[in-house]
Structure 1
């Protein structure tokens, strides 16, 4: 499934796509003040009834029950939200979220975008638009089905927002989240995107197999169409395969395993080297991999091999990044 993110085109937007990241916003950062609104009358009524049976009598007792219920059910500080759309051709979305058509729109492969962290930390559903907030009852609590509760908190909005055709990702980590670069399929330029901004984005992503489209107005219509922009092809892209270092030398490699846990800031990687490297060259490669695979990672483990047949055994070099410091260990001499 393809999904779309409208962006203004700020420096932070460009840094994020360069580093294969997206920003998961807190509830408070979203533009709808009614986000995460739910109807908790039924569950509060039941808990007040139980409270009365076990000794609650005063107004203060019942206020405490109701306030604690709201606090327990609130997910405002526990999740991040990445809002997407099902179309790159909506005139209002371009006006509201893409700097009045001066920005751009990102096309993602949703399945690849969701690959990091797994079902316990990433939830993805289309938004349900309704006239009333969803109701949470006692059965919702005792069933303890996390997906059902998250759906009611994060995937319902007023019908007034229905035009957005929103599909959401909810993460257990707010802020920057990394993704596999193959998730980014295309970039759509707005009606007013400047030539310099287009060239900057094309040059930034041209080695990653990304397609580029220009939004245009259909003749005699309010409708938009997307016209493919022909760019210099990069069939033999070296992105995440080779980097140039000093004196014209290059480091060639293949990423065998890339596992990222956005929620914990932990990454695990296996890399097959095409040649032996010294310590300084390994540090250079690690810094490159960190930026392009998991730029906000806190703890990262690397295993480097020089023989395809040895990737299930002890690596030639083990390395880790912790608290910004790189530690490298050569496990045996070649």
Structure 2
């Protein structure tokens, strides 16, 4: 999913922001630093309920009240990154991007929030909009429901922002993988100088630059691709013939299952893994390489036995695990269990 951050070009702010973006960072401010005076405004009825319950049974009630207070106090510690689901908001271009003279950074949301760079990422909230003050009740004791009511609701007047909010356990500069920034959109009044500054700053990465245009016939903002950079890489992935059979994505580790159509020796397999990781990977990963796509139905099946295990093991030619990154395991499933399964099959 792509999300967007609108920014202005006022001199001091622009220099600071450009430096931050170049270093693959963003700042997660505290609630007190945001521009909505009603941020995190909510009521809670749980304290009175806990007091009532305490008159009947005291076991655990004190601890519950303490935990509730800790959750409420969390507001003063956390950091927030506010993003938008759209790059076409006329109001946001006017308010946050120097009246259409500024720019908008495009992020890949999944790459932005992975925990490989900062361990204090907590939650993603999609903001809902209502003029009613949210009230925490007993039904909100589920952590995600409570966080949504406390930090994921804004008044109707902000609805045009289509906000997605990332919550961090502290307010500070956060680091992200370089590939999280995928594009820059320039307002329809942006100067040529601004565009050239960004092209110079981001020339050695995979990124697209867009110019926002005004379509008077459709009465809407649109984008036009202005320029595209492709990062200079050490390895050439294009010389390999392969197909990704399956991709498993988790918070801390990715698993790729690849059908490699080329026949390679161990050293060339290592070069393929380096090229693949350079092009596609942005967090710790395991690369599983097969010599056929006929075992796709067996990927992720556990436990494998008998003929299925043999078929999978024969096709599984190499694995490169996240550590050590430069080591190739050839035919990792041809182990003692493989021999046992062969012996069992040979009996019939």
TM over 0.5: yes
Report SS of the residue matched to 2:327: helix
1:13 to 17, 28, 40: 17
More helix by share: 2
Matched, 1:135 2:135: yes
Report the Cα distance in structure 2 between the residues aligned to 1:201 and 1:46, rounded to whole angstroms: 55
Structure with bigger RCO (C-alpha 8 Å, 6+ apart): 1
Report the Cα distance in structure 1 between the residues aligned to 2:91 and 2:219, rounded to whole angstroms: 11
Assess, with a 3 A threshold, how the Cα gap between structure 1 residues 69 and 207 changes in structure 2: closer, same or farther: closer
Report SS of the residue matched to 2:200: helix
Report the Cα distance in structure 2 between the residues aligned to 1:72 and 1:150, rounded to whole angstroms: 9
Which residues of structure 1 form unaligned runs of 5+?
Answer: 56-65, 240-252, 261-303, 312-334
TM-score in terms of structure 2 length = 0.60
By how many angstroms is 1:121 displaced?
3.0
By how many angstroms is 1:80 displaced?
0.8
Deviations 1:118-161 (A, max 9, x none): 997331121111231222123534xxx43222222111111221
Report SS of the residue matched to 2:136: coil
2:47 to 44, 47, 56: 44
By how many angstroms is 1:45 displaced?
2.7
Alignment partner, residue 315 of structure 1? none
**Rg (Cα) greater in structure:** 2
Q: Does the 8 A contact of 1:208 with 1:237 survive in 2?
A: no
Report SS of the residue matched to 1:105: strand
Assess, with a 3 A threshold, how the Cα gap between structure 1 residues 203 and 146 changes in structure 2: closer, same or farther: same
Assess, with a 3 A threshold, how the Cα gap between structure 1 residues 126 and 17 changes in structure 2: closer, same or farther: same
The root-mean-square deviation of aligned C-alpha atoms, in Å, is 3.5
1:228 to 209, 225, 228: 225
* Bigger mean CA offset, 145-154 vs 102-111: 145-154
Which residues of structure 2 form unaligned runs of 5+?
Answer: 59-64, 236-273, 285-322, 330-348
1:28 to 22, 28, 32: 32
Q: Does the 8 A contact of 1:18 with 1:204 survive in 2?
A: yes
Q: Does the 8 A contact of 1:75 with 1:153 survive in 2?
A: no
By how many angstroms is 1:88 displaced?
0.4
Matched, 1:155 2:156: no
Matched, 1:185 2:188: no
